């Protein structure tokens, strides 16, 4: 990612100077391995393996942190802020883990910390929420914020292939890393959702306050059922604050979204973030979620902001929440509709017994599909769409349903998001 | 629109203070008619009918101009900048006509002029292009930037009604003003396109350098043919600079766009702007194009920027093009594909004669539809999709085609935009 920034700073050097009045010069580059082949040429005397050299260099005004990971990045960013050097980071993991401390340190030192590249690559969602929507209470944010997952789910939907095949395809095309676990298990999106939660509501939710589910369990069958019901399955980040209840929810899960909503048209490695503000109403921001170039556009925009503020001798600016707008809503209390696929014995009365259980738990049924089995088999699928209910209620009801003799163990429970705020 | 800003400043006063550290106080309001009923309560002593009182008041730091029109607004904005008061405007007409002079004056006085609300209401497209994409050469911008036209075209597409019916519906729903001529004839979008042209390429194109066509001539028949070919008709603003040829094109016209592109999902009064940058790649920004609230979100964001800069004693910041990246590309030389609906005599050899003419003019045919006539008639429709060609060439070829004896005078020529940059 560092190479992308370096390359594009040179490529658009004149445009940048003409627009901002500054030349952004790369003075020094800290790398892990001096010998590694890179796709940009950096003069050897600019390279070092010790980031402390950058932090201690009085000629350097801004440090760009793109090393990833959390603890070493935390040390680097802290040391830079302590030395009163502005920091630009693209690292969501370090912010999700240490954001509270880093932002406090940034304000304490009156030295800005920029993080546009940490969420949704080329989409300027940080600037949008922080500055452009500053006059809005954020009602909700729904985001497709992991390109790898979205690529896999798009291919499962469009090509009818299964998860393993789609993951292999993503690997072959370079859209999944050698170890794609953070993409697949939802935590890459989880880190981004935590950052958006802070930006919207001032509170850094702890990982244990955030519910994160990945896409590993999604089957081709579920994708097809969702399709026949008018939905697409997307890995969705939800950041939301209640209207009466001020508690905050931040969660990530594969969810059914209606095909009538523009978010459902976001395919492949693209990301999109739908923000509902109480003044602006509905907005959506769309672009490349990852990739060297898209991300370096975000880093360069932060560098330009940093340069502008240095020239004007401005430290930390406003535009961030300084309060803490509410506690975390426990996951059991979060509301949504649900998609429930069960595997049931093909005999009369099963649906009635299931409907009894949902009814007793106060959960309404929106629709039911029971497709004709293709071949005789003991268990056949039964798909239910369930009305808005607290997650805890659904889990309780599901436990009772799975205990029925006529219901097999295999099942899928997914959220259905209407995307209303 | 002023009422919306006033109302929302009060509604979200605490959030704004908590995020920016400032209270934004409305000191005085200049109105045309003191007696008019308003949906917000303003203390009578704050009201005046003379905007000069605001400009001359030393207590006032920022002037918000939302009076519309061009010449009086020009006087107001100039006077405010001369008095070194920052200006926030939502007025596209005044910028399209006097933008060059106003921006020069703003820089001369080192007093900022903000205009987020002038383009696409709730979509922060000015901040996005100016700041977030500052590190990009802008390859192209394609925008649906007039809500009224988009509502009308959406209804023609979805409900199969004609232009007059859809316009009436827009009026009934309050989506079209009493005099919707600037919406319908394309010039509202034209003014916005001129502003985006300046922001992207530093040049304020003159109205005569911009080609603007409205939606009045679009028939239900054309909408249906476009649909059967896989396209939707949208009033599209195009702002683009060639790769080899550095000349700039800014134009607005109803255009066919492929249904596979996310822009085609933008329905009703919503706006969307697709920006392609040479670093970030494809991005899209979506939101309410008009309406008191969406627009006031933009005004408030500019006010917060203005407050931040006042506190930090910063005047004009960078982030605007200071050069002039190229001359205007004459409309005759602009390239696109085309949709051509002709009315021809139903006899053999007509298509061959037409194809001869297009061929001689170097224009390839992509596809042809000749629907079976529903009832016997002298003329039947013939629809051609034509390859990329210069507009001048198409107009020449069309002249020759219309001169054929077998071709009637009734026809429609529309651009087809593939939306590649």
Per-residue pLDDT tens, chain B, 421 aa: give them: 889 999 999 999 999 999 988 899 999 999 999 988 888 989 999 999 999 999 999 999 999 999 999 999 999 999 999 999 999 999 999 999 999 999 999 999 999 999 999 999 899 999 999 999 999 999 999 999 999 999 999 999 999 999 999 999 999 999 988 889 999 999 999 999 999 999 999 999 999 999 999 999 999 999 999 999 999 999 999 999 987 888 999 999 999 999 999 999 999 999 999 999 999 999 999 999 878 899 999 999 999 999 999 999 999 988 888 878 889 999 999 999 999 999 999 888 999 999 999 999 999 999 999 887 777 788 999 999 999 999 999 999 999 999 999 999 999 999 999 998 7
Among the partner-chain residues B9, B21, B135, the one whose CB lies closest to the CB of A300 is: B135
List the 294-313 stretch of B: residues with Cβ below 8 A of A.
294, 296-298, 300-301, 303-305, 308, 312
Q: How far from A245 is each of A31, A248, A421, B41, CA to CA, in Å? A: 48, 9, 14, 29
DSSP letter assigned to residue B327: P
Among the partner-chain residues B9, B288, B297, the one whose CB lies closest to the CB of A136 is: B297
Q: Which residues of B touch A260 (CB under 8 A)?
A: none
Residue showing tokens 């981004």:
A192
Which residue numbers of B are catalytic?
Answer: 192
> Closest approach of chain A CAs to the CA of B340, in angstroms?
29
- Cβ B314–A312 below 8 Å, yes or no? yes
- Cβ B308–A318 below 8 Å, yes or no? yes
> Closest approach of chain B CAs to the CA of A298, in angstroms?
7
- Cβ B135–A304 below 8 Å, yes or no? yes
> Closest approach of chain B CAs to the CA of A350, in angstroms?
41
Return d(Cα B121, Cα B151) in angstroms, integer: 15
Prediction ipTM score: 0.95
List the 57-116 stretch of A: residues with Cβ below 8 A of B.
116
> Closest approach of chain B CAs to the CA of A338, in angstroms?
26
Q: Check pLDDT > 80 for residue A373.
A: no
Q: So what's the pLDDT on residue B273?
A: 98
- Cβ B284–A281 below 8 Å, yes or no? no
Q: So what's the pLDDT on residue B178?
A: 80
Q: Which secondary-structure segment (H or E) carries A313?
A: none
- Cβ A278–B312 below 8 Å, yes or no? no
Closest residue in B to A124 (Cα) is B132
Q: pLDDT tens-digit profile of A303-353? A: 999 999 999 999 998 888 887 888 999 999 999 999 999 999 988 899 999
Q: pLDDT tens-digit profile of A168-178? A: 999 999 998 88
- Cβ A18–B127 below 8 Å, yes or no? no
Among the partner-chain residues B131, B282, B287, the one whose CB lies closest to the CB of A282 is: B287
Q: Which residues of A touch B19 (CB under 8 A)?
A: 134, 318-322
Q: What percent of chain A has pLDDT over 70?
A: 100
Which of A16, A158, A279 to mutate to test binding with chain B, by most B CBs within 10 Å of its CB? A279
Residues 6+ positions from A332 with CB-CB distance below 8 Å: A390, A391, A392, A395
> Closest approach of chain B CAs to the CA of A127, in angstroms?
7
Among the partner-chain residues A132, A287, A301, the one whose CB lies closest to the CB of B283 is: A287
Which residues partner with B142 through β-bridges?
B238, B274
Which tokens belong to B238?
């195009």
Provide the terminal-to-terminal Cα distance of chain B, rounded to the nearest Å. 35
Total Cβ atoms within 10 A of residue A346 = 15
Q: pLDDT tens-digit profile of A274-314? A: 999 999 999 999 999 878 899 999 999 999 999 999 999 99
- Cβ B133–A124 below 8 Å, yes or no? yes
Q: Does A258 touch chain B (CB under 8 A)?
A: no
CA A307 from centre of chain: 28
Q: So what's the pLDDT on residue A186?
A: 97
Q: So what's the pLDDT on residue A397?
A: 98
> Closest approach of chain B CAs to the CA of A396, in angstroms?
38
Q: So what's the pLDDT on residue A374?
A: 75
- Residue A96 half-sphere exposure, CB side, CA atoms within 13 Å? 23
Which tokens belong to A119?
């969420």
Q: What's the length of chain A?
A: 421
Return d(Cα A163, Cα A159) in angstroms, integer: 11
Closest residue in A to B138 (Cα) is A15
Which of B14, B129, B132, B262 to mutate to test binding with chain A, by most A CBs within 10 Å of its CB? B132
Structural domains present in chain B:
2-122+292-311 (3.40.50.720), 125-288 (3.30.360.10), 335-416 (3.30.70.260)
Q: So what's the pLDDT on residue B420?
A: 84
Q: What percent of chain A has pLDDT over 90?
A: 87
Q: What is residue B278's three-state secondary structure?
A: coil
> Closest approach of chain B CAs to the CA of A259, in angstroms?
11
Closest residue in B to A305 (Cα) is B131
- Cβ B286–A286 below 8 Å, yes or no? yes
Return d(Cα B409, Cα A347) in angstroms, integer: 69
Closest residue in B to A116 (Cα) is B132
Residues 6+ positions from A189 with CB-CB distance below 8 Å: A143, A145, A146, A149, A212, A235, A237, A252
Residue showing tokens 């997307």:
A234
Closest residue in A to B297 (Cα) is A280
**pLDDT averaged over chain A?**
94
- Cβ A262–B286 below 8 Å, yes or no? yes
Which of B136, B201, B279 to mutate to test binding with chain A, by most A CBs within 10 Å of its CB? B279
Residues 6+ positions from A382 with CB-CB distance below 8 Å: A341, A342, A343, A344, A350, A351, A354, A368, A369, A370
Segment A91-104 shows an average pLDDT of 97
DSSP letter assigned to residue A343: E
- The string of DSSP codes covering B51-115 is HHHHHT-TT--EEEE---SSHHHHHHHHHHHHTT-EEEE--HHHHHHHHHHHHHHHHHTT--EE-
Q: What is residue A49's three-state secondary structure?
A: coil
Alpha-carbon radius of gyration of chain A = 24
């Amino acid at each position: 990612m560092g190479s992308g920034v370096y390359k594009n700073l040179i490529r658009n050097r004149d445009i940048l100077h003409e627009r901002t009045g500054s030349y952004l010069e790369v003075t020094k580059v800290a790398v892990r391995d001096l010998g590694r082949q890179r796709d940009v040429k950096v003069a050897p005397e600019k390279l070092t393996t010790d980031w402390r050299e950058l932090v201690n260099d009085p000629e350097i005004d801004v440090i760009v942190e793109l090393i990833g990971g959390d603890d070493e990045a935390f040390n680097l960013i802290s040391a830079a802020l302590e030395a009163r050097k502005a920091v630009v980071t693209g690292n969501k993991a370090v912010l999700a883990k240490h954001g509270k401390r880093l932002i406090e340190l940034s304000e304490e030192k009156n030295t800005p910390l920029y993080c546009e590249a940490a969420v949704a690559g080329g989409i300027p969602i940080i600037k949008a929420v922080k500055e452009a929507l500053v006059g809005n209470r954020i009602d909700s944010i729904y985001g497709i914020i992991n390109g790898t997952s979205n690529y896999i789910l798009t291919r499962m939907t469009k090509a009818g292939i299964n998860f393993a095949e789609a993951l292999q395809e993503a690997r072959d095309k370079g859209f999944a890393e050698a170890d794609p676990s953070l993409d697949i298990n939802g935590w890459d999106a989880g880190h981004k959702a935590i950052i958006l939660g802070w930006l919207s509501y001032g509170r850094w939710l702890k990982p244990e306050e955030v519910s994160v589910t990945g896409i590993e369990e999604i089957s081709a069958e579920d994708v097809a059922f969702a399709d026949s019901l008018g939905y697409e399955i997307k890995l969705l980040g939800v950041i939301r604050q209640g209207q009466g209840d001020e508690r905050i929810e931040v969660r990530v899960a594969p969810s059914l979204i209606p095909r009538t909503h523009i978010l459902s048209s976001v395919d492949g490695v693209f990301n999109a973030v739908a923000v509902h503000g109480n003044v602006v109403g509905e907005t959506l921001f769309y672009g490349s979620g990852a990739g060297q170039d898209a991300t370096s556009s975000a880093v360069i925009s932060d560098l330009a902001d940093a340069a502008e503020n240095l020239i004007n001798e401005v430290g930390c600016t406003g535009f961030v929440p300084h309060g803490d707008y509410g506690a975390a809503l426990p996951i059991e209390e979060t509301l949504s509709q649900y998609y429930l696929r069960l595997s049931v014995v093909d005999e009369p009365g099963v649906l009635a017994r299931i409907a009894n259980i949902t009814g007793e738990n106060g959960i309404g049924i929106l629709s039911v599909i029971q497709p004709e089995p293709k071949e005789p088999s003991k268990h056949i699928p039964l798909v239910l769409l369930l009305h808005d209910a607290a997650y805890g209620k659904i889990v309780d009801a599901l436990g009772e349903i799975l205990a029925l003799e006529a219901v097999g163990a295999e099942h899928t429970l997914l959220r259905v998001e209407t995307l209303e705020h």
